Amino acid sequence: MNNAAPAPARTRGRPRGNPPTRESIVPAARTLFLERGYKGTTVRAVAAAAGVDPALIAYHFGSKKGLFADVMQFQCANALAVDDVLGGDPATLADRLIDAVTGLWEDADFRRLTAQGDEAAEVIREYLEQELLARLVEFLGGRDATARATAVVTILGGLIYTRYLNPLPTPAALTPAETRRILTPALRTALAPTRASGRGAQAAQR
């Protein structure tokens, strides 16, 4: 008679105990995406590199696209840390925004990740809209906060496009310091609250 206890059934869903966190899987995925590209990287390969079951990746990220988005978001959050950018001296906020964007995009590995096609472009759009723009609106406050934040993100988006994504010779030839010197005045203007005079406000209402 076999008295051995039956092996416990393998259950789906969130693993019990102390499973590897999202953060422990992302570095392995980042390495493979850089080495093989988005199309050449499989969920099974990431799972093997991270030493986890593929089901755990599906649980945490949903799909390869979700995993890639986390890798990109991790890169963005590390370089363009919104809390740090907004938490300094308000007088130099424009300078910090420029430095954060150029610091992120001057990183060779990040630029290789951005060359992964539509998946990368979608993540960048989401980060600018949901993280940077939304946080700027909250930080600036006031009736014109959305307009000011939109102007800032539009300037930064133009910088990203003309210097990195589809570089024009002149912007691409600038050093980060020269880029900051040229664009900081425009960003300061965008960040400044608008002050319409009483007579101007009445005219606008007409």
Burial class of residue 4, CB neighbours in 10 A (0-12, 13-18, 19+): exposed
Residue 2 pLDDT greater than 60, yes or no: no
The string of pLDDT tens digits covering residues 17-38 is: 444 567 789 999 999 999 999 8
- Kindly report the backbone phi and psi dihedral angles of residue 93, in degrees, each rounded to the nearest multiple of 5, phi listed first: -60, -45
49 near 41, Cβ under 8 Å? no
Reading the block at residue 117, the tokens are 């096609």
Cα gap 64→25, rounded to integer Å? 12
Percent of the chain past pLDDT 70, that is, above it, reads 83
The string of pLDDT tens digits covering residues 57-73 is: 999 999 999 999 889 88
135 near 86, Cβ under 8 Å? yes
- Of 125, 96, 103, the C-alpha closest to 191 is 96
* Dihedral of the alpha carbons of 82, 143, 156, 129, in degrees to the nearest 10: 60
Cα gap 121→162, rounded to integer Å? 15
